[in-house]
Structure 1
Amino acid sequence: MTNYFRSNVNAMASYVPGEQPQRGTQIIKLNSNENPYPPSPAALAVLQNIDSEWLRRYPEPSGGEFREAASKVLGVPSDWIIVGNGSDELLSVIIRACAEPGKKVVYPMPTYVLYRTLAEMQAAEIVEIPYSDDYNLPVEKMIAANGSVTFIVSPNSPSGHVVAANDLQKLASELSGVLVIDEAYVDFTEDNALALVKEYENVIVIRTLSKGYSLAGLRLGFGVANPKLLQGLFKVKDSYNIDAIACAIGTAAISDQVYKNACVAKIKASRTKLATDLKQLGFHIWDSQSNFLLAQPPQRNAEYFYQELKKAGILIRYFKQPGLDDKLRITIGTDEQNQALVEALIYLLETR
């Protein structure tokens, strides 16, 4: 067979996303950290009133309408914002702009495994530094690694913990490369790192509308950084990466903070209840500031529970990798979905 690909592409493994059942399938889906509630009615109204002209013409290339709306919500100038086809695209843009063979991409583990895939695509050197058992960030080791790009997720996935503000400040002040603070789950916590963007020009904060705004299917994310940093990222992004419909719907969604905050409050309350219920079943639960829980079964037989729950029509996430192979990541669903999960777990614990 003819080999068409670069050697690093041949050697790499593909990123494996969470399972996506077919539409209409009666599945309780708690494996991809999607919001269980519908998007803002204001966003749905935009969708129902699409002008055909939006489809005929190319969209505004920088997502200007959305940038203006996000600017008002966040209190940052609109030219400090870059919009992407999901936050994943922006992660790819950063790697394309800043990483290459001979340069390092650094991040703690366990975390979002897409970072490894993106770095492998650029044949960059990958430095994975283990978290401690209590998920304290290995700050000194990360600084010493001297990455051209350093990724930090806060709240982190799959642990759900928030990285201490003083640790992020230390990284920002001592790293010579780009510090990417991935805040995909920021809507579910009280802390954020946006202030660091104004203080350090090597910091970019990445956010998404997939989680807090219930728009995972829309594919819209954004980054906030000093225009000096964004200048290089705009050079490598696709010309028209944000479609007109996504921009319009996203603008309505981010402008409706009242609705988003109401949904987030329900998820936080459900998170507390589900954590309590799982602890009563003997699961070890890590404190979470996200819309999911990291859970360790009493007998640490995580793969068994994953497989059996799947048979019962409940999808959760299992990572077969060191440090996670005895744990499960469970997305917070509605109270009814969470109760169905708990009842299924009770049955499995009683019949095992």
Structure 2
Amino acid sequence: MNNYFRPNVDAMASYVPGEQPPRGTQVIKLNSNENPYPPSPAALAVLQNIDGEWLRRYPEPFGREFREAASRVLGVPSDWIIVGNGSDELLNVVIRACAAPGRKVVYPMPTYVLYSTLCQAQDTDVTEVYYNNEFEFPLADLIAANGDVTFIASPNSPSGHVVSINELRKLASSLSGVLVIDEAYTDFAQEDALAVVKEYENAIAIRTLSKGYSLAGLRLGFGVANPGLLQGLFKVKDSYNIDAIACAVGAAAITDQTYKNACVAKIKASRTQLASNLKQLNFRVWDSQTNFLLVQPPDGNAQYLYQQLKEQQILVRYFPQPGLENKLRITVGTDEQNQVLINTLTQVLLNCSIPKS
């Protein structure tokens, strides 16, 4: 077969998302950080009242209805908001607009692996700056690298930690390029980075409705940045990247803050209990401001436990990469799901400790 691809695309590995079992499968799915609770009733009501005219016509190209709703909720002007087909599309828009061969993208590791995939596809230069074992933020090294684009996931995946606002301010003020603050999990955190975005024209905060709003299947994300920065991003986004249904459902969901906050509060409480239960099983558990936990099994046998849980119809995430090969990332489910996980782990660990005859 002929080779139709650019050399960098031919050489790159594909991004591997968390396993998605077929609908209806009796699996406890704790591997993709989905919200275990249903979307807002207000969002579901929009779906029940779809007008066929929405589908016949092209959607508004900039997601005006959602931008206006997000503007009211966040207290920023609507022209400071860009809407995307999931936050992943907006990460890609930044790369397309700002990265190229000879230009440099910087991010700390380990972090969201899609950054690497996007950079390889664009054939841009990459500098990876590594966290230490305690995930202390490598501020000085990131400043020294001075990327044309610097990605900072805060809260970070898979560690769950938040980068302080003061550190983000220092980074934004020191960089000559764009600072992308990926806030996919900000609904579960104690603080967010909107203040940094308002102060520094080179900073953009990117968010999603997949996590806090239970809309991972909708594919809707947004970014907040100075209109001067957004102007360049609008040039490279797809013409009609947000469908009319997603825009309307997303607007209803983000407006219903009472429902979202109630679900988030339940997840935070479950997170605390799950962390306590895992510690009782002698797991090391990193502090998290997300809807997941990064944990290290007592014997470091993460891959074995991942496989054993999968055989018991429980999916968690295992990353076979340096620094993570002895760890698991576990999404916080409902209390009932979390208890099944703990009971299963207890039995698996007990079987591991029983001497073989």
TM range (shorter): over 0.9
Letter in 2 for 1:184: A
| Aligned counterpart, 1:174 | 174
Q: Quick check: 2:209–2:215 contact (8 Å CA) kept in 1?
A: yes
Letter in 1 for 2:345: L
Whole-angstrom CA distance in 2 between matches of 1:5 and 1:66? 37
Q: Quick check: 2:82–2:230 contact (8 Å CA) kept in 1?
A: yes
Whole-angstrom CA distance in 2 between matches of 1:168 and 1:147? 14
Measure how far apart 1:345 and its partner are: 0.2
| Aligned counterpart, 1:60 | 60
Q: Quick check: 2:165–2:196 contact (8 Å CA) kept in 1?
A: no
Instruction: Give the secondary-structure state (helix, strand or coil) at the position aligned to 1:181.
Output: strand
| Aligned counterpart, 2:346 | 346
Map Cα deviations across residues 67-119 of structure 1 (whole Å, 9 max, x no partner).
00000000000000000000000000000000000011100000000000001
| Aligned counterpart, 2:248 | 248
Letter in 2 for 1:257: Q
Measure how far apart 1:136 and its partner are: 1.1
Measure how far apart 1:43 and its partner are: 0.2
In structure 1, stretches of 5+ residues that fail to align are none
Measure how far apart 1:135 and its partner are: 1.0
Q: Matches of residues 288-307 of structure 1 in structure 2 within 5 Å? A: 288-307=288-307
Measure how far apart 1:189 and its partner are: 1.0
Whole-angstrom CA distance in 1 between matches of 2:121 and 2:96? 9
CA RMSD of aligned residues (A): 0.5
Whole-angstrom CA distance in 2 between matches of 1:202 and 1:169? 11
Instruction: Give the secondary-structure state (helix, strand or coil) at the position aligned to 2:249.
Output: helix
Tell which deviates more after alignment, 131-140 or 329-338.
131-140
Measure how far apart 1:133 and its partner are: 1.5
User: Percentage identity across aligned positions?
Assistant: 76
Q: Quick check: 2:293–2:332 contact (8 Å CA) kept in 1?
A: yes
Whole-angstrom CA distance in 1 between matches of 2:188 and 2:282? 25
| Aligned counterpart, 1:235 | 235
Instruction: Give the secondary-structure state (helix, strand or coil) at the position aligned to 1:96.
Output: helix
| Aligned counterpart, 2:310 | 310
* Matched length: 352
Instruction: Give the secondary-structure state (helix, strand or coil) at the position aligned to 1:330.
Output: strand
Measure how far apart 1:347 and its partner are: 0.5
Instruction: Give the secondary-structure state (helix, strand or coil) at the position aligned to 2:213.
Output: coil
Question: TM-score, normalising length from structure 2?
Answer: 0.98
| Aligned counterpart, 2:19 | 19
Measure how far apart 1:164 and its partner are: 1.6
- Work out whether 1:158 is the aligned partner of 2:158: yes
Map Cα deviations across residues 257-278 of structure 1 (whole Å, 9 max, x no partner).
0000000000000000000000
Instruction: Give the secondary-structure state (helix, strand or coil) at the position aligned to 2:132.
Output: coil
Measure how far apart 1:132 and its partner are: 1.5
Measure how far apart 1:166 and its partner are: 1.5
Question: TM-score, normalising length from structure 1?
Answer: 1.00
Instruction: Give the secondary-structure state (helix, strand or coil) at the position aligned to 1:298.
Output: coil
Whole-angstrom CA distance in 2 between matches of 1:243 and 1:233? 19
| Aligned counterpart, 1:264 | 264
Q: Quick check: 2:46–2:252 contact (8 Å CA) kept in 1?
A: yes
- Work out whether 1:191 is the aligned partner of 2:215: no
Tell which deviates more after alignment, 135-144 or 327-336.
135-144
| Aligned counterpart, 2:105 | 105
| Aligned counterpart, 1:38 | 38
Instruction: Give the secondary-structure state (helix, strand or coil) at the position aligned to 2:82.
Output: strand
Measure how far apart 1:134 and its partner are: 1.3
Instruction: Give the secondary-structure state (helix, strand or coil) at the position aligned to 1:126.
Output: strand
Measure how far apart 1:54 and its partner are: 0.3
